[in-house]
Amino acid sequence: MNTYTLPLGPVHVALEEPVYFNLTVEGETVRNVNLTSGHVHRGMEAMAAQRNFVQNATLTERVCSLCSNSHSFTYCMAVENVTGLTIPRRAIFLRTMAEEIKRIASHLFNTAIQAHIIGFKSLFMHTMEVREMVQDLKETVYGNRMNLAQNCIGGVKCDLTPEKFTYILGVLEKVEPAVDELREIFATNSMVIGRTKGLGLLPKADALRLGVVGPVARGSGVAIDVRKNSPYAAFPELKFNMITHDDCCIYSRTRVRLDEIFESIGLVRQCCRMTPEGPTTKHLQRVPVDEACARSEAPRGEVFYFIRTYGTDVPQRLKWRVPSYMNWEALGVMMKDCKVADVALITNSIDPCVSCTER
Amino acid sequence: MQDTLRDNTYITKNIAVLCANGGDVRHSTDAFSNPFHWFTLDNPRLLTKAAEALRNAGARLCMITAYNTRQLGDPMQQVCYHFECERAIINITVILNGEWPTVPSITPLFANADWHEREMMELYGIAVANQPNPRRLFLDEELDQGLLKNSVPLSVMMNGASSSALWERILSDKGAAS
């Protein structure tokens, strides 16, 4: 059978952001995947080298929308590492809480988009409705639905009153059974199962070879989670499980995300109970000439920041790597010999973020 | 801190020997006692050996950072490779200068190095020897390689936006057209 090249994107109804696939197709079957990106490259790392440390907390929060909090969080940790700043305990817990609330919303969004691509519109709307409760929570507590602006160098900006903690616990009481219901649908509905089980395979050996992280790695049985492997913030004091599934398919990755939502709900509840009284910020004293790294577990996996200072209030170099950066290459393995109709669904299963990748 | 360093003896020993003649080795921890090891290799050619030692130890490549150490004049550049191994972050820096202008590719050892190497080639103009896939990553072929390596005069960057130069050029073009 003859092969031909099928272009997909950069603007496509099933792609959230612009990316261009050149698929080598034989009949209905994809034989090779070639990826061209760069449509939303904004030169953010060059911009960061022209802004001071405080301005960069705002800039890094705008790298991405769904994991915006993870960027400012990790950036602040990198600055704190390079300056030797230890933040107050209350701030450590409040940061952790904001991060986990964002994770719940991010995982629900990805799951909703999966239902949308499958064509299961009512499930898409149902999932988005559940997510809306978390969006309302963010708006009520932080004043913003997406960019929480919670992290600052030395602590957090938004302190929470006891009433807010009670409110959060109340919302989680409603979110938890709703997500449980969703998990049941995603696990048993024949339409969802038919499109996700056994498709988009990423064997464990390939996951390790390509260095993928986050739910993509954990869905292929690779036990990697920065919160467990290299604990930071309040995670060493909190109880939670690392979720892994080893089916290596789209369904496996969705299960990791849905199960993780329950772990995140548990983490937020623990934070509500355990957050100690005290100050929420500490002043930055001086900036030495040095370099430091920091990493954290964003909803999509490990976010890595490197900062190099030369004694001024502007970094000499600020570099970051997002989880999607490696996950794109894994698509080549996942799409090998898949049907053209499954390309968008497989792409969604890595929870892709183009803005993050290209910066 | 000594405990956290002891866990990585194999790596620290194997890489420290590559930094013995003019290189540098130091160790640090963050506020949560996570260890960071910093190595500056004697020369970029030793990178392959360091990467092999890390691969044998089961390390994972996290990121590669390229940067200029001088803004103007001196063309010195550095590349820092960040690896993760048994909860420690191992940072390996190589210095590129007139004597050692290229760095070997580690993509044959770590598949995910491909994108990082291509990015530093297009943005910083760093020469990566034996890169198996030396295509552009994000930027179009029409843009010059190594944009962040060059200093652009402010007047060129502003394109006459802060003076009357641009306006006069438009006026003269308009005059020529009519």
- What is the spatial distance between Cα B153 and Cα B160, in angstroms, rounded to a whole number? 11
Q: State the average pLDDT over residues B90-95.
A: 90
Q: Which CATH architecture best describes the domain A43-323?
A: Orthogonal Bundle (1.10)
Do B130 and B101 lie in one domain? The reply is yes
Do B67 and B123 lie in one domain? The reply is yes
| Residue in A with minimal Cα distance to B120 | A319
- Shortest CA distance to A292 belongs to which of B103, B38, B54, B146? B38
| Inter-residue contact B62 to B89 (CB < 8 Å) | yes
Annotated binding residue A158: no
Total number of residues shown for chain B: 178
Annotated binding residue A356: yes
| Inter-residue contact B63 to B114 (CB < 8 Å) | no
Is A306's CB within 8 Å of B82's CB?
yes
Please report the pLDDT score of residue B3 as a whole number: 47
Is A329's CB within 8 Å of B115's CB?
yes
- Higher pLDDT, residue A175 or B25: A175
CATH of the domain at B85: 3.30.460.80
Do B128 and B159 lie in one domain? The reply is no
Do B57 and B141 lie in one domain? The reply is yes
Do B66 and B116 lie in one domain? The reply is yes
Q: Identify the sign of the CA torsion A135, A136, A140, A143.
A: positive
pLDDT in tens, A63-75: 888 889 999 999 9
Please report the pLDDT score of residue A107 as a whole number: 94
**pLDDT of residue A322 exceeding 80:** yes
Q: State the average pLDDT over residues A300-313.
A: 90
Among all chains, which residue has been given the structure tokens 């790298």?
A: A63
pLDDT in tens, A84-140: 888 999 999 999 999 999 999 999 999 999 999 898 999 999 999 999 999 999 999
Query: Picking from A106-115, A271-280, A335-344, which range would have the lowest pLDDT averaged per residue?
Result: A335-344
Is B137's CB within 8 Å of A294's CB?
no
Among all chains, which residue has been given the structure tokens 């390939």?
A: A206
Mean pLDDT of chain A: 90
Do B134 and B166 lie in one domain? The reply is no
3-state DSSP assignment of residue A129: helix
Residues of A in contact with B87 (CB under 8 A): 229-230
Question: For residue B74, what pLDDT band results from cuts at 50, 70 and 90?
Answer: low
Do B71 and B24 lie in one domain? The reply is yes
Do B171 and B87 lie in one domain? The reply is no
Residues of A in contact with B28 (CB under 8 A): 292
Residues of B in contact with A320 (CB under 8 A): 63
| Residue in B with minimal Cα distance to A47 | B148
Nearest to A38 among B111, B116, B139 (CB): B139
Query: Picking from A78-82, A125-129, B58-62, B72-76, which range would have the lowest pLDDT averaged per residue?
Result: B72-76
Find the domain containing B171 and state its range: 151-178
3-state DSSP assignment of residue A78: helix
Q: How many domains does chain B have?
A: 2
CB burial class (10 A; 0-12, 13-18, 19+) of residue A267? buried
Nearest to B138 among A38, A236, A317 (CB): A38
Do B6 and B77 lie in one domain? The reply is yes
Nearest to B65 among A38, A317, A325 (CB): A317
> How far, in whole angstroms, is CA A187 from its chain's centroid?
22
| Inter-residue contact A183 to A202 (CB < 8 Å) | no
Nearest to A41 among B31, B87, B138 (CB): B138
**pLDDT of residue A60 exceeding 70:** yes
Question: For residue B72, what pLDDT band results from cuts at 50, 70 and 90?
Answer: low
Annotated binding residue A45: yes
- What is the spatial distance between Cα B134 and Cα B115, in angstroms, rounded to a whole number? 10
Contacts of residue A285, defined as CB under 8 A and 6 or more positions apart, other chains included, come to A83, A85
Give contacts of A 220-259 with B, CB under 8 A.
229-233, 236
| Inter-residue contact B117 to B124 (CB < 8 Å) | no
Do B134 and B155 lie in one domain? The reply is no
- What DSSP character marks residue B31? T
Q: State the average pLDDT over residues B14-32.
A: 79
| Inter-residue contact A115 to A192 (CB < 8 Å) | yes
Q: State the average pLDDT over residues A135-162.
A: 90
Do B73 and B136 lie in one domain? The reply is yes
The β-bridge partners of B85 are B88
| Inter-residue contact A117 to A14 (CB < 8 Å) | yes
pLDDT in tens, A182-216: 999 999 998 899 888 888 889 999 999 998 999 99
Strands (E), chain B: 24-29, 35-40, 60-68, 77-85, 88-96, 102-104, 127-129
Q: Where are the domains of chain A?
A: 43-323
| Residue in A with minimal Cα distance to B138 | A38
Distance between first and last Cα of chain B:
77
pLDDT in tens, A220-255: 999 999 998 888 888 999 999 999 998 889 999 999
Share of chain B above pLDDT 70, in %: 84
Backbone dihedral region for residue B119 (phi beyond 0: left; psi -120 to 50: alpha; all else: beta): alpha
| Residue in B with minimal Cα distance to A212 | B112
Interface probe with B: pick from A320, A326, A358, A359, most Cβ of B within 10 Å: A326
Residues of A in contact with B38 (CB under 8 A): 291
Residues of A in contact with B60 (CB under 8 A): 211
Do B17 and B82 lie in one domain? The reply is yes
